[in-house]
Structure formats: C-alpha cells, structure tokens
Amino acid sequence: MILALEYHRSPARYLAAARLPGRLRPAAVPSLAPLRLTNRPAPNTPGPGWVRLRTVLSGICGSDLAMAAGKVSPYLGPLTSMPFVPGHEVLAELMDDVRMDDGTDLRAGTRVVIDPVLPCRTRGTGPCPPCASGHENRCDHVNAGRISAGLQTGFCADTGGGWSERLVAHRSQLHRVPDGLPSERAVLAEPLACAVRSVRRIDVPRGTSIVVVGAGTVGLLTVLALRELTPAGPITVIARHPGQRRRAVALGATETIAPQAALRGLRRITGGSLVRPELGPGYLLGGADIVVECTGGEGLDTALRLVRAGGTVLLSGMPGKPADLTPAWYRELNIVGSYASRGADDFAAALDLASHDALAGFVDSVYPLTRWRDALSHALSAGRSGSVKIAFDPRNGDGHAQNGDAGEPAALTGPSRRTASTSDTASTGDTDHLDREGADG
C-alpha cells in the first residue's frame, strides 16, 4: 500500500468549493475539495514499456487548483477517470531498469521527469491522425486503449500521479534529468516544456511587441521561453504583486504593469488610443502584436482588449471564464491555443532552461502529503505570499492515512524543505484573477 492524495467523485463538494468567494478559497478550498489522503494499492504496470516510479517531487499546478476549487470546464470531464491521484509535474526515480526507444538503457534509481500526456503509444492503440503527425498532445484516443480515460498522468485512474509515493509511466514519457540539475529545478521541467510549446506555437518576428497577462508560474516561465528562444522585442508583463514583477524582470521582461494600469500603460508603450464604452471595460485601438494569456481566468478578456488589430492572442492558461469575443471578430484577431508540450524536443529545451540562474528559489516550499491542506492553501495564495511554485515530497511523512474525505494522519511531520506556516498562507486570500496559474501542464 502507498500513501496518496486522491481526487474522487463528489458533486456536492465540487459545487461547494465552486461557490466560495475568491477571498475565502485559500482557507476553505482544502476542506471542501473532493480530495482525501488515503492508503491505496500501488498502480500496476498496464503493459509492455511501462515502468514503476518513486516520486521525488511533484508540483501543484494551476489546473490542479482549479480542479480543487470547482473551476474546471465540464468539457474535460469525459477525458478523466476517477478516482485519480493528481500531480502531473513529476520528478521521480526509476524503480525498474528500462530500455528507451532510442536503445539507451536507464537504470533503476535514475532521476527522470515525465511528459504527462497519455497518447496512443502509451495506450497501445492507433496511431490516431494527430499522433501519426507528431502531435501527441492532440491525441484522439485519450479515452481508449489499455488504460482508462485520462488526458494526462495525474488525471487517469490507472497511472497514479505525483501526489503519491509511487506511480507508473510509459518509457516514451520519460526524460532523464542531468546529474548536476538540482531537484527543485528539475521539477520545473514540465511547466517549462509547456512554456516552450507555447512560444513555438506562434511566429515571433524580430522586434515583436508582446504582452504576458499574468505572472504566476506559467506567465513567468513563458517570459523566460520568449526571451531565450525567440527574437522578441519588448515584453510587458501584467503582474499584481511586487515579487512577481521582480521575477518577471529577472527572466527578461522589459517592463511590468499592475492590472489596474494595464490599458494606460500599454497605450503609452504601444502608442495606441484608449476607447471606453458606455458599458464594460475599455480597450485599445492599437496595442501589442502578441498577447499571451497565462492566468487561466479572466485574463482572456483582458488580452482581447490589449492586442492590435490583426494581432495574435495565445492561450497558454486553461480558460476558466467566458469572454466577450467581439474584439476577435471586429479586429480580425488570431486566437491560438497551446496545450501541454510536444514531446522530446520541448523537454530537452525545458531541461536546458531549468538551469537558468533566475529560476533559483522558484520552488521555495515543499510539503509532505500529510500537510496537503497547508500546501493547497499556500499554493492558492502564492502570488500574495511571494511564492511561485509549491511542491509535494511524498517521501517525507509518516506514511499512514486515515480513511474518509477529511482523513489526516494522526501525527503530522514537518515540511521537507522551506515551508510557510499555515498562518502565513491560509489567511491571505488573494482574489485577483491574474495571480492564478494556467494548465501547466
């Protein structure tokens, strides 16, 4: 049996969490979300090419928080299977030797990060047309094959997830971590790969003006990818908190603006004109060439109002709220989605970027599974508390859970690394949509 944090079907809890006012979410969501700490059997390897993994660190992503808070679109419901163990940002150690598709051998004990997407290769099906064309992140078979439905590890009942002591993965999902890369940097590989995928989804000519809406993990890593992998010109980041602004500049942002000053600031930077309708928020005539939406909340509406006519809005965060699409029609905008990553090339670039000096301290708080409520509260208020990425270390804890939705072990162990206390985090209810991360994946 292994210790795991399990997400289970409970419409009442899901709806209760969804109805919470934003200011109450950091304190109340961990108690209302359909999550339980439990002992469960370790997942079995479902077929050839699958291996067992021991989790070292697993990040808490904005999509995980949206799920816990009842903010995920019902569109994704058929693409998951319950009960599942969350956690798709995973650094783990191999428990088995494995021969990779390129003929190299990885020995048990090797540190790996996983590409959480579960395409045809992992399921023994297909290949479907997207997988055959090399776009496995667009797989049409995510609810078929030898494992149950799950768009990613961390949303599939059969694979387990990073919020547990063990999980399983297919060899095609594994990427070896360089020996010199610290674990707190390596666990950023998956969200970094998503950022790499985002900037490779669009054409960024030299000197292009870019606005990044949101400065959580997704927004900050997107700034790094834009600056390191493209010839982008000025990058302006809309960020609520001083710590986010400092990190954005360190990662390559030219300028940062508070949300309430976004329209005026972008008018000054781009030379556009500000228009204010009789009802609703204002918008720019003119604006940035590209706006990247990284909040997974109301940032899409903001992005549509800041981009120039004929410009591009890139959706990097998982959309969480409807937006007025009139600008897309009237201004002939290009709206581009970016989901997860596209395999080995993106992960290779991500592991290279993970060594960037400006990422020092990104993972500043690591919790044992036994303190999962504290961890989620901290993550839900990360922007205001000055944190960026919160992670679990399932190896740290007493290893015994009580059954039931609210089951906590009788004895709680301390955090494995720097950890904010509950009083530091649970009472700092940040409600601004720009502080929430996207679907880091």
Write down the pTM of the prediction.
0.89
Q: Within its chain, how far is the Cα of 232 from the centroid?
A: 23
- DSSP 8-state secondary structure symbol assigned to residue 236: E
Q: For domain 2-176+364-392, give the fold.
A: Quinone Oxidoreductase; Chain A, domain 1 (3.90.180)
Q: Cα–Cα–Cα angle for 156, 439, 219, nearest 5°? A: 155
Query: Residues 287-330: pLDDT tens digits?
Result: 999 999 999 777 899 999 999 999 999 999 887 778 899 999 99
pLDDT at 397: 66
Q: Of 51-65, 172-186, 330-344, 412-426, which gets the smallest average pLDDT?
A: 412-426
The answer to whether 2-176+364-392 and 194-337 have equal CATH topology is no
Residue 17 pLDDT level (bands cut at 50, 70, 90): confident
Burial class, 75, CB count within 10 angstroms (exposed 0-12 / middle 13-18 / buried 19+): exposed
- Say if residues 305 and 331 touch (Cβ distance below 8 Å): no
Q: pLDDT for 237-279, tens place per residue?
A: 999 999 999 999 999 999 999 999 999 999 999 888 999 999 8
> Helix/strand/coil (H, E, C) string of 32-53?
HCCEEEEEECCCCCCCCCEEEE
**Contact residues for 114 (Cβ-Cβ < 8 A; gap 6+):** 53, 88, 90, 92, 153, 169, 173, 174, 175, 190
Q: What are the extents of the domains in the chain?
A: 2-176+364-392, 194-337
Domain 194-337 has CATH 3.30.70.2740: no
Reported as a pLDDT band with limits 50, 70 and 90, residue 173 is very high
User: What is the predicted pLDDT for the residue at 306?
Assistant: 96
Name the token pair of 70.
């009842």
Residue length of the chain: 441
Share of the chain above pLDDT 90, in %: 74
Task: Give per-residue pLDDT as tens, 92-107.
Answer: 999 999 999 889 999 9
